[in-house]
Chain A
């Protein structure tokens, strides 16, 4: 048989191509190939087509051995698991398995982020994040918390949860993201769960604003700082509008930290987002149509894919059982916000100052002075593993006060030690478990004693009609020379200033030098209480925080306005009214600014004036179809720049240092801040507002935006750039300053990450998340709640059984138990 040379040549070329493709592109082929490709992992597990129905009917329920006993899982039509067991360890094992099934990649990501091992999964872009999180040693704090919990009743439950997560990891295919980026999760541990707790706490209460204040003190005149950054914003809508038995606040002192601006700028990306906030309110049965209390909560967080929250219903049968439903962060086994059959509860952020910073005399690179003696930094060399890059070695240092963060700046090395209430053994996990099983608001308040971190505005209601507001968390006292002082400064650590008595970083604290639980603001059985991250009380009785850490008062004032009007009307409140409130997009910020804008029209050019005229007949509702809302939103983004840029930029202060929007709104029309110091004329508010409006219009024209929805776009993308992982885009109502909260700030999207309305009457409670329950992009529950959420609608949060069991956990024999453990 003769061979055709051309065909042989073609065959050789083809063979070479296949070998090259296999060797160099094998990973891509493994990713994209039909059927077996990693990118299609999860198709058969989560689809909503005919195949899924047939497969489900043929395969029936999944059976999994559980070393702790029997449990069942039935998913409802929204993909919410209803998990039921006879004993709590069996329940927690099932929770671990189910959370891993639906959100394993997200759990691993958060754990990596907080533990400083993210670069090993995603590469060089995460090295600075890893450096910060390792320097802070959140992992060490999580280990301290585990030591505090391990020997309590909760310890074995966390271990059961951990085993459930690992059972899933060991026996089922990994989520698609691990295949896409070619890495694997580490086995789950109890410390990993507590690391997720630390992540929540830090993102809500960790900050470096004392550095910011020090830089401002050294840059601006004292009276300027007092005007722009007052202790309290000038409004009358604190959380507690009735008098709290407070005493006088302590004096503050200016600190000169001119060299610390570079340090602050390198750290501020890792602190609590200033705009992140939430709403909650509780209404007693005295004010409701049913005679039963109502409770609403919507925490505003950065919106992510998959969503930050995971909803579940947990039923522990038996005499001491409970039946609780609500949301948690994947990786945390208990319901964090939700209700059981007797009690509902929700939280917002207090904005308390629970982070202090310390500087030292440093005789050498390796030592610092404390208590009159030279001490060596506690030092550890660590290596950050970097995917597809070179490993990075770092030095982690600590002082007696906490982690020591040092950065090279143009003026040399600058450093501070950090004390944060979460950097010790904390027991909030026990408190949350207590909420899950509570029967009255008194039970909730008692459980909240263990809620060490973060500081939260906790509201609760019970089926007996009780209501509760309580600020949770530990609030430190600081002393200098025996006198109690505020914490809004950087302390001299060498002199022992501002130390927290009874606080042991990375160990177990006694909390003896903290505000006693009874003296922290709380109210039992009020008719209604609302919180929206505004000032807690005019006189809380101790230094709790100052204005830069609290939110602008717009949302809080609006919520109280709606509640007051309804209460005064005599028409009782009901679930529908709660929904109307959560959907409210009336902007108190617009109400405050627009009269000034309209009064400034003479200073505007004709085009800008025409645009500003839109505001004249506007109802201040931030709706997607509104032209006026677009004009105001863009004006609002420009007004602080138009007011402060000339003075701040000259001092090297960027827009991150600008004061609250409310401060800008309430400046007198002839304030010197409106004057542009670069011109010879004396500008007023009208000129600054005209400038802001002109820039706003130019931005709208440049982008072709005509209505608010053109700009205010929901655009949630998965961290991995694969199209099918992203959520669909759509126009949105709402703003950062409206009760219905949604914001677009650069690439960040934030807003109501969970909306809940809890009832105790005939109507079921309601809840919705911005996305879906499943992290599997092929699941029908990947983003099936997104439109419902975006349109201000809800799904029921009922306590009915969804029907057929999907996963049945059977009691394992001793051998299986060994293998599971």
Chain B
């Protein structure tokens, strides 16, 4: 079996195998955890979800879901610590935080276009 064929089989197993759904969920969590440490986590999470997605548009969808999840968890975190009012008073920083969170993962997930 050629290397390309082997890679293709692994890719198929990841995307369509028995544990593919669990893998996507795990990758979500990894992306979330990385994002808690550095914003590059949004890129890495999006890239990994793109690799696992069964189609290009599903990849973009996963990326968007990751962004929404990160944003929701972040807002919950701010609420838990009583910091939501300050977040919404941050002006451009608020908008930037929302935009980065929602747009970076789907953009990174477009890596799926390469196969």
Contact indicator A34/B110 (Cβ below 8 Å): no
Give Cα distance in the complex from A11 to B47, angstroms: 11
Given contacts A1-B8, A47-B83, A51-B80, contact A7 B113 (CB under 8 A): yes
Pick the residue among B8, B43, B97 that contacts A34 (CB under 8 A).
B97
Complex Cα gap A724–B36 (Å): 22
Complex alpha-carbon distance, A22 and B89, angstroms = 25
Q: Which of B56, B83, B89, B108 contacts A40 (CB 8 A)?
A: B83
Chain A residues with CB under 8 Å of B87's CB are: 40, 724
Residues in chain B near residue A7, CB distance under 8 A: 56, 110, 112-113
The answer, yes or no, to whether A722 is at the interface (CB within 8 Å) is yes
A49 partner residues in chain B, CB cutoff 8 A? 79-83
Closest to B80 in A: A51
* Contact between A44 and B81, CB atoms less than 8 A apart: yes
B74 touching A34 by the CB < 8 A rule? Answer: yes
| Smallest CB separation, B94 vs chain A (Å) | 8
Q: Is B23 an interface residue (CB 8 A)?
A: no
List the A residue with the shortest CB-CB distance to B99. Answer: A32
Chain A residues numbered 9-59 whose CB sits less than 8 Å from any CB in chain B:
10-11, 14-15, 17-18, 21-22, 28-37, 39-40, 43-44, 46-52, 54
Complex Cα gap A780–B42 (Å): 30
Residue of B nearest to A38 (CB): B93
Can you name the residue of chain A whose Cβ is closest to the Cβ of B63? A14
Instruction: Mark each residue of chain A from 717 to 747: 1 if its CB lies under 8 Å from any CB of chain B, else 0.
Output: 0000011100000000000000000000000
- Are A37 and B86 in contact, with the CB atoms below 8 A? no
Contact of B35 among A32, A36, A48 (CB under 8 A): A36
The answer, yes or no, to whether B13 is at the interface (CB within 8 Å) is no
Q: Does B14 contact A (CB under 8 A)?
A: no
Q: Does A245 touch B at the CB level, under 8 Å?
A: no
Across the interface, A43 reaches (CB within 8 A) one of B8, B43, B78, namely B78
Q: Is B10 interfacial (CB-CB < 8 Å)?
A: no
- Nearest B residue (CB) for A26: B39
The verdict on B96 contacting chain A, using a C-beta distance below 8 Å, is yes
Inter-chain contact A4/B8, CB cutoff 8 Å: no
A34, A36, A39, A51: most-surrounded residue (chain B CB, <10 A):
A34
Tell me if B30 counts as interface (CB < 8 A to partner A). no
Q: Please name the residue on chain B nearest to A777 by beta carbon.
A: B86
Query: Is B25 located at the chain interface by the 8 A CB criterion?
Result: no
The verdict on B29 contacting chain A, using a C-beta distance below 8 Å, is no
Question: Residues of B contacting A777 with CB < 8 Å?
Answer: 86
Known A-B contacts A28-B96, A723-B91; the reply to A34 vs B70 at CB < 8 A is yes
* Interface residues of B, Cβ cutoff 8 Å to A: 8, 35-39, 41-43, 56, 70-71, 74, 77-83, 85-87, 89-91, 93, 96-97, 100-101, 104, 107-108, 110-115
11 A-B contact pairs sorted by A residue (CB < 8 Å):
A4-B113, A11-B112, A28-B96, A32-B96, A33-B101, A36-B37, A40-B83, A51-B82, A52-B80, A723-B90, A777-B86
**Lowest 8 A-B CB distances belong to which pairs?**
A47-B81, A51-B80, A33-B39, A49-B82, A7-B113, A11-B113, A34-B74, A724-B86
Contacts A22-B43, A48-B82 supplied; 5 other A-B pairs, CB < 8 Å: A31-B93, A32-B100, A33-B97, A43-B83, A47-B80
